[in-house]
Chains A and B, each alone.
Chain A
Amino acid sequence: MIVLLLLHLLLAVGVLLYRRRIGRAAWIVSAVGPLAVLGWSLANLSGITREAPYEQNVEWVPSLDLALQFRVDQYSLVFLLVVAVAGALIFLFAGSYFSVGPRVATFAATMTLFGGAMVGLVGADHLLALFVFWELTTISSYLLIGFDDHRAQARSAALHAAIVTGAGGLAMLGGFVLLASESGSYLISEIVAAPPAPTPAVTAAWILILVGAATKSAQVPFHSWLPGAMAAPTPASAFLHSATMVKAGIFLVGRLAPAAVASTSWWEIAIFTIGFSTMVLGGWRALRQNDLKLLLAFGTVSQLGFIFLLVGAGPSGLLFGGLALLIAHALFKAALFLVVGAIDHEAGTRDIRRLSGLRRSMPALFWVATLASMSMAAVPLTFGFAAKEAAFDSLVSRATPLVATAAVASVLTVAYTGRFLIGAFGRHQAGGEPIGVGARTPNNWLLWSPLGLSAVGVVLGLVPQVLFELVDRATAAVTGITDAGKLVLWPGWVPALAWSMLSLAAGAFLVWRSELSTAATSAVGRFSERLPSGEGVFRRAIPALLTFADRSSGLLQNGSLPAYVTTILLVAVTVPTIAVLGGLPPLTSPRVGTVLEWSLGLLIAGFAASLIFVRRRFATVILLGGVGYGIAGLYGVLGGPDLSLTQLLVETLVIALFAFVLRHLPAAFAKPATARIQRLIVAAIVGAFIFVGGLVVNAARSPGTVSETYLADAVPEAAGSNVVNVILVDFRAFDTLGEITVLVAAALGAAGLVLPVIRRSAERS
């Protein structure tokens, strides 16, 4: 497994390095990746199916318990085979589709990286490894969708896809971490084997994971990135939206659904709601498209909704039909995307209002498209039919409303399939100059790749039972249910057949009387345009977010120093206050204080309070000195004669310094600035906070063992009787050294600032 991943990396790097010389061979080289995956899957097929899942454990950082753990069972194998078959044919198609050049080779390398990431995603057993591969697909899909980087549409579509799926991926990561911490393991196999108990954290985890899967698989309400992603070159669209990227979310919900159902009560309802609404909405929107590729894109959204609900519903037989449908969808949707690519390449447009007469000029392509379309519409004798029968059959045994809703969506599927086929290959008179009459069927991989995909679909449609064992074992690997459905050419007269025949007939009627559906869709369309659409919400959300960022940084970073200081102070006050509100520690009752303390305290407070009102600079300095001398007195009272002396000395020096500086400044401060009241309020809050905080902090201090050690050791160890001195010059001498360094640095800085000024004034005088 790790070899396969390294091979993809190697191929991509190789193509990148030789991008100027490799030419068309870039695609042949890149196709080695999916072919190797195909070979590996087939080689391990019987081993995995008959014996045990393939497991590989690559040690990475053993001491941190980090390892790349892979586990491929039959369920993963289904996805691997789909990726490999579709990937190989799409790569060969791209060889004929693109011209030659270093940019194209870069594109091929990106596609290879994407394919490798997808293989890793499907094979990973560790949730975090899965997340890494998941995000790798997001990043490489961003590069693929935005490949035409000179077009604004391509860039914005790529960004749209990256933001939606990236945000979903982050939500999913949060869900993974929660899930792992609740269940005690990051290994998917262990989580599924022993699902965590339904706690609120587990519920949150499942919601987040569901959001991640829904964004990746373009489910309502996150579907809007997928139609936009049609800005990508067609081979990338075919790869991303038939076989790989959008199937990642489906892979994830299918893999985890049994655990999710076990630890939530709402999972199934959520999956059904999301899946059915996606299914109906996608089919509806597909009916209104004129761009063939957009039509297919909305059709993909619709099909994905169906597969999502079948695969994600949990331990039930629905998974069987879901997997069959997934295989069918990959085959016909990749084929149809490639057909659109071939038409676009040959005729120069894919607008159904302009294409005309392609059936005559490109008959081979027409038949390829017809075969794939029949599978999409689930016409009998195709693999799409067999798969849909299996799906309907499991829904019938579940509940009638479920199968009825699916049938309604199927009517839409048939209708948009007809619109696709007639639109692409039929004759039109209306609307401008028809294009494509002169186009010829290409005779290269532009034809052979979709033909190959359609042919596989036809063969599987005639002998669907060959896939039965694979799908059945895959279902059993996840749910433990065997024989959940059957894949047969003709199901016999069962209720499911009635439902599918009914939807086929109704869809055919809509195609025949297409003016009816056109009238209906445009009438409802006019109404629905007033409703918020996914695209509209996204398009408004991004500017709103940017405006919010603008406003908030304008508010917080307003350039005013007092505003910054206010913010800092208020935060510094608020956070500990919240902590203290949780519960105050018991307070020791403070002493009232001696007469000496009272008189010194009143003196200091009086000096300090006058500082608010005094506007003459020298007066403020005198007041500050008064405060300092008062403090020195208090130190003396509290038993610190050294402190008292130092404070007296320093205070005198400070007054001298102020006097020197203020000589140069105006005598009085400018008029009191505005916002005096706000400043007073902030000051009062800080004062009150310090008062209460002082009470709390002092109550928390226990008699210091450090102080006692110092007191005991001063004489015997340092031979000094003044303990404060001993601490400063002996026990904590390095601290004092640091203090001196600070003083020297400050002195140098101050000298550097002031000396040039003094020199200049000396020269002038």
Chain B
Amino acid sequence: MSLVSLAVVAVLFSIGTYLILQRALSRIIIGLGLLSHGANLLIMLSGTGPAAPPVLAEGSVGPVADPLPQAMVLTAIVITFGITAFLLALALRSYLLTGNDEVEDDIEDRRIAREQHVPDPVPHEVEMHEVPL
């Protein structure tokens, strides 16, 4: 693992976080893209450093790169692509329906948060007359 690669991972996570904290859906998608890049690279860093590709040619000797993180990352790249495509479709649909691609606040939650429920007053004294049944 090299220090510079780890620093790149940290920068990608940091800026990805900054972007997903916004309201514009297309920006959030870009932020997610950065986060996935960062996560994939982090997984890759757990393997060996720069090395020969894990291709076993006839008679080849010497160390090769760790194949396991590569297999995982390969899967992750493709799935990220699928999710990005889906989110983009969502953003497009949202824009065409509402005229913007912003994630609005949940109005219902806002209302609940604003309201103060005053509990019913509890009767103070025990009633004197019991109603015999």
Contact = CB atoms under 8 A, between A and B. Distances in A.
Q: Are A and B physically bound partners?
A: yes
Contacts of A270: none
A711 B64 contact: yes
Interface string A726-765: 0110001001100100110111011101100100000000
Interface in B70-102: 70-71, 73-75, 77-86, 88-93, 95-96, 100-102
Given A611-B19, A664-B92, A593 B109 contact: no
In the A-B complex, the 5 residue pairs with the closest CB atoms? A687-B14, A639-B65, A559-B109, A554-B113, A746-B82
Interface size class of A (residues with CB under 8 A): 35 or more
Interface residues of B, number: 105
Nearest to B81: A650
Contact of B66 (A99, A609, A704, A714): A704
Contacts of B45: 638, 694, 698
Contact of B53 (A99, A640, A679): A640
B44 A638 contact: yes
A753 B90 contact: yes
Given A640-B53, A722-B54, 20 more contacts: A153-B127, A351-B128, A547-B117, A555-B113, A561-B103, A591-B2, A594-B2, A597-B50, A605-B8, A611-B19, A627-B34, A631-B37, A638-B45, A639-B50, A639-B54, A682-B21, A683-B17, A711-B56, A735-B75, A747-B85
B59 to A, nearest CB: 11
Interface string A611-627: 11000010011001001
Interface stretch (A230-238, A252-260, A392-400, A489-497): A230-238
B26 to A, nearest CB: 6
Contacts of B38: 690
B73 to A, nearest CB: 6
A609 B15 contact: yes
A698 B5 contact: no
A97 B132 CA distance: 7
Main secondary structure of the interface of B (DSSP, over half): helix
Contacts of B23: 561-562, 673
B133 interface: yes
Nearest to A636: B53
B79 A739 contact: yes
Interface of B: 1-15, 17-24, 26-27, 30, 33-34, 37-38, 40-42, 44-57, 64-68, 70-71, 73-75, 77-86, 88-93, 95-96, 100-103, 105-110, 112-119, 122-133
A721 B57 contact: yes
Contacts of B80: 650
Interface string A595-616: 0011001001100110110000
A701 B7 CA distance: 19
A228 interface: yes
A601 B8 contact: yes
Contacts of A52: none
A721 B56 contact: yes
A398 B19 CA distance: 75
A390 interface: no
